[in-house]
Amino acid sequence: MDKQELVEHARQIRKHILKQVYTVQSGHPGGSLSATDLVTALYFQEMDITEANVNSIDRDRFVLSKGHASPLLYAVLCEKGLLDERELLTFRKINSRLQGHPNMKYVAGVDMSTGSLGQGISAAVGMALGNKLAQNHHRVYALLGDGECQEGEVWEAAMAAAQYQLDNLCVIVDHNRLQIDGEVAKVMNVDSLEEKFKAFHFHVLTVDGHAMDEILSALSKARENKGRPTAIIANTVKGKGVSFMENQAGWHGTAPNKEQYEQAIKELGGEA
């Protein structure tokens, strides 16, 4: 798939994210939009997930460790053809399969139920180790938030990943520098993430998380890396793609009103 096709998928995914959050007036748009390009690259270029193998162990796996960004995961599954677009309108509603945090029991393509920060990467380490033991050569990808890296469990998981030389594991950090309470650096500074992951014996790559060429190159290098896990630190913009949401911590968990939604969709080249 060429770069322009990936960019177009990312644009549509951003529209799906906003539709979900606006419809129910609940959810987390900021961190979903910041990670859109990263997850688009995974699902439409890097990972081998298809409708035919979605329920199989014999494919690559993705763990949304920052589980509150569930609108992104549902939007990607929809764009991939694994989830009906009409179901996006049920997001976070009573009896919907599309809960505020993803549940692997309900939705094919959700590889781990996540929400408690730090637990997703821990599960991903277990999956990668399981693949090693079973001689299953498929890869495991985990997406973390930079605020999530304040959790001690993240570093326990990182320590285990290095100990077992899990070169089939790729951790991606959505480094948008904002969390629900404001700037990550002021709440509890996690920088330098590059130096921290290096200290835990990871192969570390840093990219512009909105530059598709850089993302794809890093994923390729991660695949080629042997003997240790990879961490990709992706510098991103919270709320990317919607002018009034960009770099605003207030949009971490706030839904747009009708006027704001219509403006956001227009900026993304669509009609509300």
**118-134 pLDDT, tens per residue?**
999 999 999 999 999 99
Mean of the pLDDT values across residues 235-245? 98
* C-alpha distances out from residue 192 to 83, 146, 184, 187, 188, Å: 38, 11, 12, 15, 12
Burial grade of 239 (CB within 10 A; 0-12, 13-18, 19 or more): buried
pLDDT grade for 1, boundaries at 50, 70 and 90 = confident
pLDDT digits (tens, 9 = 90+) for 72-99: 999 999 999 999 999 999 999 999 999 9
Assess contact for 204 and 198: CB atoms under 8 A.
yes
pLDDT digits (tens, 9 = 90+) for 37-69: 999 999 999 999 999 999 999 999 999 999 999
What pLDDT is attached to residue 271? 75
> Which helix (DSSP H) or strand (DSSP E) does residue 169 occupy?
strand 169-175
Q: State the Cα–Cα distance between residues 119 and 148, nearest whole angstrom.
A: 10
Q: What six digits make up the tokens of 247?
A: 């770099």
- The per-residue pLDDT of the chain, averaged, comes to 97
Answer whether residue 202 shows pLDDT above 80: yes
Answer whether residue 207 shows pLDDT above 70: yes
Answer whether residue 270 shows pLDDT above 90: no
What pLDDT is attached to residue 267? 97
Assess contact for 43 and 59: CB atoms under 8 A.
no
What pLDDT is attached to residue 205? 98
| pTM value surpassing 0.95 | yes
